[in-house]
Amino acid sequence: MLRASCHCGAVHIDLERKPRSLTRCTCSICRRYGARWAYCTRRTASVYSDPGALAAYTWGDATIEFYHCRRCGCLTHYESVDKNEGSRIAVNARMLPPEDTAGIRVRTFDGAATWRYLD
Ligand SMILES: [Zn+2]
């Protein structure tokens, strides 16, 4: 199990297993956040937070919600608005200890234009 945590510790996410790859997305929001996504589901990643610690951001057609810690500001994950057991949680692997992500391949996804991986 791996544990991702925001800086202040008000939010943490437990991942069932080590991700095989991480994704750096070029879309308008991911490039600003500088996130590296580890794609999980609600079965393989569990989010824990202090009451009121999580804030969500959506825009446009509002199909996904980006969550950050209200206290320290760290972007922790995103999820689809329609939450079910199998739905995706993308965990920001920047919240993991560096030794837990060392050596994991980082793939670039062209979310800005072609919606394809660039490797
Ligand atoms: Zn925090």
73: left (phi over 0), alpha (psi -120 to 50) or beta: left
Q: Rounded CA gap, 107 and 37, in Å? A: 10
Q: Cα–Cα distance between 71 and 116 in angstroms, integer? A: 35
Q: Which helix (H) or strand (E) holds 32?
A: helix 30-33
97: CA distance to ligand 1 center in Å? 15
> Near ion ligand 1, which residues have CB within 5 Å?
6, 8, 10, 69, 71-72
Query: How confident is the model over 30-79, as pLDDT tens digits?
Result: 999 999 999 999 999 999 999 999 999 999 888 899 999 999 999 999 99
Task: Indicate if the pLDDT at residue 84 is higher than 90.
Answer: no
The fraction of the chain above a pLDDT of 90, given in percent, is 88
Contact 56, 64 (CB under 8 A): no
pLDDT at 85 over 80: no
What pLDDT shows up at residue 83? Answer: 83
> Average pLDDT in the 109-114 region?
94
pLDDT at residue 19, as a whole number: 96
Residues 6+ apart with CB under 8 A from 77: 4, 13, 45, 47, 66, 67, 89, 90, 91, 92
User: Measured in angstroms, how far is the CA atom of residue 34 from the centroid of ligand 1?
Assistant: 17
Distance (Å, rounded) from C-alpha 2 to C-alpha 101? Answer: 10
- The pTM assigned to this predicted structure is 0.94
CA of 72 to the centre of ligand 1 (A): 4
Ligand 1 centroid to Cα of residue 42, in Å, is: 21
